[in-house]
Amino acid sequence: MNNPTYTAKAAGNKAMNNLPETDKWVENFARFGYAAKGAIYILIGVLAAMAAFGGGGQTTGTKGIFQVILQQPFGKVLLGLVALGFLGYAVWRFIQAIKDAENKGTDTKGMLIRTGYIASGLIYAFFSYSAIKMIVGSGSGGSGKKTVIAKMLQMPAGEWLVGILALAAVAKGVYQIYKGYSDKFGQEVRDGHVKREIKSTYMKLGKIGYIARGVVFCIVGYFLFQAALSSNASQAGGTGEAFSFLSATGGPWLMGIIAIGLAGYGAFQVVKAKYKPFNTH
């Protein structure tokens, strides 16, 4: 009986062989971006797991981790590397969307995926900008999520806009859970020469990682729905608030499991930084 994990990976590798050509500098920039994204998720997950199991740590999201990095020796240098990596990831997302660098096509499904790439690129470009602002000492890195939601709620039909954002977050979360459960994420790496034992390890990390990330997205979407229904931006929340919600509803063990999952997601992004296929010239 065929292993669905490796069957999916084989199908994905075949499709990746026909990728459009990409400049070598884009590949290098994108790989650096995946590594930076992975490192941040590992930090978020490890610190939250430590908090869940009584080992110190803290529950926070990306911008909170930026603060943690900034407080370390050579913090500005480290955060500068993260900012550069996130910029690289954003550039790659825009190229994926505009040039269709992964052959998603122009049908409805393809255009939805490519629109998602643009949204992801904008988010990571904003994170990069926020990190740079923190490095130069001009504030805490830009407006927070709740400030942005408050401004949206003040717009005409603002509640509907926030509701649509909530729906998008939940849809993203459900897709991430499906992606993890079905092992579709395995199509994103080309690792034929890697030992089976190593593959098995990072595929397991990826599975729990995508599912955990999907759960967090769904909770964030729930927060956004509450903000839309009440016209109250204080109801919105990010990863840190999602951890608090998990701890309150399922106890520290549930929060810890999701935290470990996010660290696993980060580890798989580091693997992608090395093994993601590109067709360069």
Close Cβ partners of 222 (under 8 Å, ≥ 6 residues apart): 166, 170
Amino acid letter, residue 181: Y
- Of 233, 238, 28, the closest CA to residue 130 belongs to 238
**CA–CA separation, 192 vs 16, rounded Å?**
13
pLDDT at 144: 64
Contact criterion met (CB below 8 Å) for 36 and 82: yes
How do the domains of the chain map onto residue ranges?
A: 4-10+23-280
- Kindly state the tokens that stand for 209: 């990682």
Please give the backbone phi and psi of residue 26, each rounded to the nearest 5 degrees, phi first: -65, -45
**CA–CA separation, 92 vs 72, rounded Å?**
29
- pLDDT tens-digit series, residues 172-202: 999 999 999 998 888 888 877 788 888 899 9
- pLDDT tens-digit series, residues 118-129: 999 999 999 999
Higher pLDDT among residues 137 and 159, named by residue: 159
- pTM attached to this predicted model: 0.88
pLDDT at 1: 44
Give the H or E element holding residue 151. helix 145-153
pLDDT at 218: 97
